[in-house]
Structure 1
Amino acid sequence: MYPKTLSNLIESFKLLPGIGEKTAERLAFAVLRFSEEECDKFSKNIENSKKNIHPCKKCGTLTDEEVCSICKDKTRTKDTLIVVEDSKDVFLFEKIGNFKGYYHVLGGLISPLDDIGPNDIEIKSLVEKIDKDNIKEIILAIKSGIEADTTSLYLKKILENKNVSITKIASGIPIGGDLDYVDSLTLESAIKNRKEVL
């Protein structure tokens, strides 16, 4: 129906999460209405992001520097760590602005069904960070579900001989739900009312 070049552009937009056929078509036509300058800037931003964005060497969140601005901030609480599954969750907590500790990105959850074990995610580096930085509390801020429970129990087991408390953000997050679908007040309350992992 569409010219091949336009069809290819539509298919490219459909690669993005949550983008179906109709939305992809709208986005493609919007891009075609860009001026040459806007189009050039748009494509350069994608190219630069892909080339320059990478995990922070300390916490694993996305940054365009060797160490992210959060890890560089010496005014933050040093002994408290929020542990998240994905980088995007770090930015959600930062938007709320009430957490003043540091973060650790696991880069996934333990999932035996998907053949993802403890060595496939950033657990070893988490343990090293707890020892090195004398962390007193880790707050698990991961979505609910079997993989999250498996990961939580594994962390509790390997950290039981360390002087660190393990808490989990309170309920209010839907089972299997991503944190980015939760409003900021719910997320803030979930941190405040966190409970110890049993």
Structure 2
Amino acid sequence: MKRLQYASALTRLIGELARLPGIGSKTAQRLAFFLLSAPPEVAVNLAEAIREAREKVRRCSECGNLTDVEPCAVCASDMRNKNVICVVQDPRDVAAIEKYRGYKGVYHVLHGVLSPLAGVGPQELNIQSLLARLANGVVQEVILATNPDVEGDATALYLARLIKPLGIKVTRIAHGLPVGAHLEYADEVTLGKAIEGRREIE
């Protein structure tokens, strides 16, 4: 039996949607058909939101988090404790920790973790700007909040070895989080306990 062929524009739309993380071919088809059957403004608004985000959202020059203002709201806030920096691997981790509402320090986003097999070394991560921030003598503690998996632990250990000689306290979030879990999926209570129970790296 001959396979049904979609219009070329529809095929392209399905293909582009399927490239998104977590979107399989069937979900991509459902989304494509929804966009075509919905009122025109739905697709137009989506396209405009994507365009605007791509044009306006960038990395904060201080912490590396995604922002549309410079510096980002956390770095610019006088209510945040600049003596404590929480190092995370992804902007989504900042959002997860902010839900907890108990952390009042600032952040530094690495945009990844060390992964030799994937070709990700220290040069590919946002590490040099972190060391530059630590050189001002203001920071008293660095909380390493990378995910509790092999790459996250290796990255935390690497950073600890760089930072401790500077005389700055280095702590690691407690493993109230399951091994292999990702911060972005943790509930705020578990994440809060992990931050509160952080331990100093010797």
Report the TM-score, using the length of structure 1 for normalisation.
0.93
CA shift digits 1:75-128 (9 cap, x unpaired): 111201110001111111112222111000111112222232222211111111
Larger mean Cα displacement after TM superposition, 60-69 or 118-127: 118-127
Aligned to 2:131: 127
Aligned to 1:80: 84
Tell whether 2:109 aligns with 1:112.
no
Q: How far 1:27 sits from its partner (Å)?
A: 1.3
Report the number of matched residues: 198
Aligned to 1:102: 106
Aligned to 2:56: 52
The whole-number CA distance in structure 1 between the counterparts of 2:25 and 2:137 is 48
Structure 1 segments of 4+ aligned residues over 6 angstroms from their partners? none
Letter in 2 for 1:38: V
8 Å CA contact retained: 1:79, 1:133: no
8 Å CA contact retained: 1:78, 1:133: no
Q: How far 1:171 sits from its partner (Å)?
A: 0.9
Aligned to 1:11: 15
Show structure 2 runs of 5+ residues with no match: none
Show structure 1 runs of 5+ residues with no match: none
Larger mean Cα displacement after TM superposition, 156-165 or 53-62: 156-165
Q: How far 1:133 sits from its partner (Å)?
A: 5.3
Letter in 2 for 1:5: A
The whole-number CA distance in structure 1 between the counterparts of 2:176 and 2:69 is 35
Tell whether 2:151 aligns with 1:147.
yes
Aligned CA RMSD, in angstroms, stands at 1.5
Report the TM-score, using the length of structure 2 for normalisation.
0.91
Q: What is the aligned counterpart of 2:75 among 61, 71, 74? A: 71
CA shift digits 1:6-34 (9 cap, x unpaired): 22212211111111122212211221122
- Give the secondary structure class of the aligned counterpart of 1:159: helix
8 Å CA contact retained: 1:152, 1:197: no
The whole-number CA distance in structure 1 between the counterparts of 2:118 and 2:40 is 44
The whole-number CA distance in structure 2 between the counterparts of 1:73 and 1:167 is 24
The whole-number CA distance in structure 2 between the counterparts of 1:29 and 1:98 is 43
